[in-house]
Amino acid sequence: MSANINRIIRAESLNKSFGGVMPARNVSFAVDVGELRCLIGPNGAGKSTLFKLIAGIEQPDQGNVFLFERDVSSYPPFRRVRLGVGVKLQSNRAYKQLDIGHNLRVPDIAARKRGVGGDRGAGVSREQAMELFGISHVVDGGRLVSELSHAEQQWLEICCAISEKVGLLLLDEPTAGMGIEETKATGRALLQLKERGMTVVVVEHDMAFVRQVADRVTVLHQGEIFAEGRMEDLAERQDVRDIYLG
C-alpha cells in the first residue's frame, strides 16, 4: 500500500433522491486505509444507496466521491473498480447458469488486463482469498455455481471480487442467509483479509457479525449519518438503540 494514501474513501455532502424519497441527505463519509468499517441502520436508512454511490452504480444529485484520494465522481463503475476496488453486491449474484471455472475466469480476465503499476492493492490473490474462505476445493471441476451451497456461493462471490490489485473491498450484506457458524467463518476471513492490508467496508444487518469484525461502525438513519464510532460505545447510546428498536 502506498504510503501517501491515508483516506481510501472520502465522500463529501452526497445527496440523492428518488422521487419523494431521499436515501442520502448531505452524507459525508470517510474510511481510512486498513479499516474494517461496518455500515448499519434500519431498513431504508440509506446503507445500500451510500454503497452504490461509492461504487458508482448510482450517481449523486450533489456531492463528490474520492477513492484512493482521487476524485472519481464522474467515473463509471468499471473505472472505479480498476483503481483497486472489489465489489460484492447485495443478494446472491454469482453467474448461476455458468460453471465455476467460467465464474472465476471473468474476474481473472479483468484483473489480468489491469496490468502493473498499481500500488493500491493489498496483494491478496483470488486463490489466497479462496483459501481464507475455505473454498479452494471448489476450483476443480466444471460444476455449475447453483450446485454450491448458499454460503459457498456468497464466499465465491467475495473471492471473485478480490485480486492482488484490490485494496478496498465493498461488501453489501455478505452474510445474508447464512447460519451462525458460516457467519462467524465469514467474519474470521474478513479479519484475516484486514490483517493483510485490505480495507473493508461492509453493509450488514447481523449485529453479532458487526461486533465480531468492526473497528468502527457508521449508523445511518433516514438517509443521514446518525452516529459513528466503536461498536461498544454505540451500543450504549440510547438514541442508537431507539432507532433500531423504536
Partner 1 sequence: MDTAPLAELAQPIPKAQGFFMFKRLKVEDYLVATLWIAVAVYGSVISDYSASTAAFYILNVPMALGLAMLWGIAGVLSFGQVAFFGLAGYTYGIIAGNIVSNLALASVAGVVGGLAAALVLALVFGYFLFYGRVEAWIVPIVTLVMTLILATFMGQTAGYEWKVGQVLLGGYNGMTNIPPMHVWGVDLFGRPLFYYVLAVVVVAWLLTVVCLRSSFGDVLVALREDSLRTELFGHDVRLMQLLCFSVAAILAGVSGVLYVQWGNYITPDSMGLLQATLPVVWVAVGGRTSLLGVVISTLALNVLSFQLSSSGNQYAFVILGALLVVAMVVPTFGWSQRVAAVFGRRG
Binding site for partner 1 (CB under 8 A): 55, 57, 76-78, 81-82, 87, 89, 93, 95-98, 102, 105-107, 109-111, 113-114, 142, 160-161
Main-chain phi, psi angles of 5, to 5 degrees: -105, 120
Closest distance to partner 1 from the beta carbon of 84 (Å): 10
In this structure, what DSSP letter does residue 162 have? -
Give the DSSP H/E element, type plus range, for residue 103. helix 100-113
Closest distance to partner 1 from the beta carbon of 136 (Å): 20
How far is the C-alpha of 138 from the C-alpha of 115, rounded, in Å? 27
Let me know: does 121 contact 165? Beta carbons within 8 Å: yes
Closest distance to partner 1 from the beta carbon of 110 (Å): 4
Q: Which is nearer to partner 1, 60 or 107 (CB)?
A: 107
Q: Which is nearer to partner 1, 201 or 225 (CB)?
A: 201
Compute the C-alpha angle 92/94/95, nearest 5°. 135
Q: Which is nearer to partner 1, 42 or 123 (CB)?
A: 123
Q: Which is nearer to partner 1, 15 or 92 (CB)?
A: 92
For every residue of 40-85, DSSP letters joined together read E-STTSSHHHHHHHHHTSS--SEEEEEETTEE-TT--HHHHHHTTE
Closest distance to partner 1 from the beta carbon of 54 (Å): 12
The number of beta carbons lying within 10 Å of the beta carbon of residue 193 is 24
By C-alpha distance, which of 52, 49, 46, 28 is closest to 221? 46
Closest distance to partner 1 from the beta carbon of 161 (Å): 7
Closest distance to partner 1 from the beta carbon of 245 (Å): 34
Q: Which is nearer to partner 1, 171 or 225 (CB)?
A: 171
Q: Which is nearer to partner 1, 52 or 221 (CB)?
A: 52
